[in-house]
């Protein structure tokens, strides 16, 4: 079941902003419940509200309500993927997933280290952790709900500039 509670917080006056945020949280909760990870993935953390409040610190402006909802969903889904790798990382299956995307290759490398009880050197760990931290993915995804203003910035950030790399190192 898909929920279409479209709203624009620009239409609310300051007193109604809390109501608008409550609607956004309710929308996210309904999406999460429809996704129902707890039914199929009992180990997955239910972090939809936490994700929303985390991203609220990034997109606090009223007119970025769509960006907040999108980022909440992206972070929740990445969290589930991370939980899957942490709980069920069988090396052979991880290798199959690693063929699909760059991020999965990083998760596979970490799975391999775990299976082999290997502690990599900083030189080996850092490039892998820059990707597996998902920080670059979240930076790119953060521009999705921002409208036209983000087009140029999105092109820049997908080039993985030095400032994004340094921010990812700080995150790790």
**pLDDT tens digits, 148-159:** 777 778 788 888
Closest to 85 measured CA to CA, from 66, 107, 117: 107
Closest to 106 measured CA to CA, from 127, 136, 76, 83: 127
**pLDDT tens digits, 88-142:** 667 676 666 666 666 677 888 888 888 888 999 999 998 888 888 887 788 888 8
Closest to 93 measured CA to CA, from 79, 107, 72, 74: 107
**pLDDT tens digits, 6-55:** 445 455 555 566 666 777 777 777 787 777 666 677 777 777 778 888 88
Nearest 10 degrees: Cα torsion 28, 31, 32, 38:
160
- Is the pTM here over 0.75, yes or no? no
Q: How many other C-beta atoms can be found within 10 angstroms of the C-beta atom of residue 105?
A: 18
Length reported for the chain: 172
- For the chain, the structural domain boundaries read 1-88
Query: Residue 69 — pLDDT band, cuts 50, 70, 90?
Result: confident
């Amino acid at each position: 079941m898909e929920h279409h509670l479209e709203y624009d917080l620009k239409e609310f006056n300051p007193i109604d902003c809390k109501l608008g945020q409550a609607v956004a949280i309710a929308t996210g909760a309904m999406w999460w419940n429809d996704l129902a990870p707890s039914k199929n993935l009992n180990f997955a953390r239910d972090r939809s509200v936490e994700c929303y409040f985390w991203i609220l610190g990034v997109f606090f402006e009223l007119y970025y309500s769509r960006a907040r909802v999108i980022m909440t969903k992206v972070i929740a889904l990445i969290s589930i993927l991370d939980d899957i790798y942490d709980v069920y990382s069988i090396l052979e299956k991880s290798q199959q997933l690693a063929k699909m995307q760059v991020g999965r290759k990083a998760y596979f490398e970490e799975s391999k280290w775990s299976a082999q009880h290997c502690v990599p050197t900083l030189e080996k760990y850092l490039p892998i952790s820059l990707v597996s931290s998902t920080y670059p993915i979240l930076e790119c995804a953060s521009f999705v709900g921002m409208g036209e203003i983000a087009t140029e910035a999105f092109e820049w950030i997908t080039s993985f500039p030095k400032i994004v790399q340094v921010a990812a190192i700080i995150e790790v």
